[in-house]
Amino acid sequence: MKMIRNRFGNLSRVSAQLQRHVQQMSTNAAAAPEEGAVINEFRTAVTNPGEHSALQVAKFYTIPAEQKKQIFAGGGLPKQYEQQIKTFTEACLMVRNPALELLQYIKATDLTKPVVRYVLYGENGTGKTLSMAHVLHYGALNDFLLVHVPWAPNWMKRPKEASNAAGQEGMIDLPFDAAAWLVHFKAQNSQLLQRLQLKTSKEYVWSKRESTPAGSSLIELVEHGIARIKYASETTAALIAELKQLSTAGQCKVMVAIDGFNAFFHPVTRIFSDNKQLVTPDRITLTQPFLDITNYDWTNGVCILSVDKIAMTEGHMDSHMPRYLLGQEGFEHLDPFVPVLVENYTDKEFHSYINYYLDRHWINKTPQGFEEQLKFMSNKNPYSLMQLVRAL
């Protein structure tokens, strides 16, 4: 029942006409579990990722719409998966082994020790981002401040605007992207920030007239960055430095999640300076804070990073292994890290996913052997499967 209520809550935000239409659909779809009063075998009622264990492997759990909006409103789920969520009117994630492994590590972590860096890697479309989303959900529910970059290569590949940094010579600011990230940070953490009442440790002077005094709350800092887009990059750097200090002091826990982390070390970007020279990531002001927070010199946190072939550019996509994608510099920055492999579906997961699609009436025609056929055509790759069964 809770699930259905959530779905209605979600729908109330959609336009009235669509609402009526979809409501009809969802009530029809919801009829099945109500009748049997038992949950389908491919679903699990455990919606708290902290309670997930090997029992729930290959089963779907639903992220409540409120939480989904809080965590993933600014990105974090792949676009096509987002569309699928909208179509199915429920945000379902499959409990899979890489995420479980990470959760187990995080739960057992000694937070007084320097942060441990976990690196998700795997072929294209195997579910690195969704594994990260699963862990993010855990972090949000367990009072971790989320420092989440939904897709780092966006900054290097398609920045909204690039301007020369005011303070530092030869550096490039991405003010709009930095502000967008601050908005994302605020959306994810505003409740927790209000509860924790974190204060800045020193005064930040932005210009002659503007400054953030020491002892002001972090929310004020973030809001200043959002309001004064010109200083968004500097605000980001300040915010991250503050977070490192605060968490080392034990005032908060921080979960860093950066998708496509190898983009910070890939020298090819699409940003050009005034004299039409290519700007390497180390000359972007946003890079340094995120490299700082993935360093091992602070405590009370976890780092979940993912390395991805797609974060690279043409000619650099030969392997999905972390050392290749990070390069020497990146490897030295992260070493020692814990690599976590994300693989294609197992048979059980694949079967479960097909059942889910059937349950959502997404697969309508079920001729003899269609599951085997899909299995061979997609090679059990999650993204390939989604593409194969997508709408035209």
For residue 98, the minimal CB distance to other proteins (Å) is 12
Distance (Å) of CA 223 to CA 100, 134, 197: 35, 28, 15
By CB under 8 A, is residue 110 in contact with other proteins? yes
The residue among 6 and 381 lying less far from other proteins, judged by its C-beta, is 381
Output b/e per residue, 300-331; b: 16+ Cβ within 10 A.
bbbbbbbbbbebbbeebeeebebebbbbeebb
Query: Nearest approach, Cβ of 275 to other proteins (angstroms)?
Result: 28
Interacting residue with other proteins among 36, 170, 315, 336 (CB under 8 A): 336
Q: Check residue 113 for interaction with other proteins (CB under 8 A).
A: yes
Among 19, 23, 109, 346, binds other proteins (CB under 8 A): 109
Distances from the Cα of 77 to the Cα of 11, 137, 211, 320, 352, angstroms: 19, 12, 36, 20, 20
Subset of residues 78 to 107 that bind other proteins, contact rule: CB under 8 A? 104-105
- Secondary structure (3-state) at 357: helix
Per-residue buried b or exposed e for 132-165, using 16+ beta carbons within 10 Å of the residue's own CB: bbbbbbbbbeeebbbbbbbbbbbbbbebeebeeb
318 binds other proteins (CB under 8 A): no
Q: Which helix (H) or strand (E) holds 327?
A: helix 322-334
> Of the candidates 225, 221, 214, 216, which has an alpha carbon nearest to the alpha carbon of residue 197?
216
* Identity of the residue, 112 or 368, whose beta carbon is nearer to other proteins in the bound complex: 112
**Do 35 and 329 touch, CB atoms closer than 8 A?**
no
| Chain centroid to CA 67 | 13
Neighbours of 233 (CB within 10 A): 30
- Rule CB under 8 A: say whether 317 interacts with other proteins: no
Among residues 6, 294, 299, 306, which is the contact residue for other proteins, using CB under 8 A?
A: 299
Residues from 192 through 251 that contact other proteins (CB under 8 A): none
CB-CB neighbours of 112 under 10 Å? 9
Coil vs helix vs strand at 341: strand
Cis before 367 (ω within 30): no
Residue 212: which of 184, 201, 180 has the closest Cα? 201
Rounded to whole angstroms, the Cα distance separating 78 from 336 reads: 29
Using the contact rule CB under 8 A, the part of the chain among 36-44, 211-219, 315-323, 378-386 near other proteins is 315-323
Q: Which of 14, 317, 338, 358 binds other proteins (CB under 8 A)?
A: 338
Counting residues that bind other proteins (by CB under 8 A) gives 24
HSE at residue 358, side-chain half, CA atoms within 13 A, is 15
Q: Which stretch binds other proteins (CB under 8 A): 47-55, 146-154, 262-270, 336-344?
A: 336-344
Question: Toward other proteins, which CB reaches closer, 321 or 389?
Answer: 321
Residue 360 interacting with other proteins (CB under 8 A): no
Cβ distance to other proteins smaller for residue 289 or 330? 330
Among 337, 350, 356, 357, binds other proteins (CB under 8 A): 337
Q: How far is the CB of 56 from other proteins (least distance, A)?
A: 20
- Segment near other proteins (CB under 8 A); pick from 36-44, 72-80, 191-199, 332-340: 332-340
Can residue 116 be called a binding residue for other proteins (CB under 8 A)? yes
Nearer to other proteins, 94 or 305 (CB): 305
Point out which span in 216-224, 264-272, 279-287, 293-301 binds other proteins (CB under 8 A). 293-301
Interacting residue ranges for other proteins, rule: CB under 8 A: 104-105, 108-110, 112-114, 116, 296-297, 299, 319, 321-324, 332, 335-339, 341
